[in-house]
Amino acid sequence: MHASVLTIIENHRAAGKKMLAVLVDPDKCSEQHLLKLLPQLKAHTPDFVFVGGSQLKISFAHLIDVFRSELHIPVVLFPGDATQFSPNADALLFLSLISGRNAEYLIGQHVNAAIAIKNSSLEVIPTGYMLIEGGLKSAVEYISNTQPIPRDKNDIALATAIAAELLGMKAIYLEAGSGASLPVSEAMIGLVKNHIHIPLFVGGGIRNKTQVAAAFRAGADVVIVGNVLETEPERMEELVAASHSIAML
Binding site for ligand 1GP (CB under 6 A): 23, 175, 178-180, 203-206, 224-228
- Residue 107 CA to residue 95 CA, distance in Å, equals 9
User: Which amino acid is located at 77 in the chain?
Assistant: L
Q: What would the DSSP string read from start to end of 28-93?
A: G--HHHHHHHHHHHHHS--SEEEE--SS-----HHHHHHHHHH-SS-EEE--SSTTS--TTSSEEE
- Residue 45 CA to residue 63 CA, distance in Å, equals 17
Contact at 8 Å (CB) between 186 and 142?
Answer: no
Closest approach of Cβ 245 to ligand 1GP, in Å?
19
Indicate the residue among 79 and 203 with the shorter CB distance to ligand 1GP.
203
Indicate the residue among 145 and 231 with the shorter CB distance to ligand 1GP.
231
Indicate the residue among 3 and 36 with the shorter CB distance to ligand 1GP.
36
Closest approach of Cβ 231 to ligand 1GP, in Å?
10
How far from 92 is each of 79, 123, 211, 227, CA to CA, in Å?
8, 6, 26, 21
Indicate the residue among 3 and 243 with the shorter CB distance to ligand 1GP.
243
The residue whose Cβ lies closest to ligand 1GP is 203
Closest approach of Cβ 122 to ligand 1GP, in Å?
19
Closest approach of Cβ 1 to ligand 1GP, in Å?
27
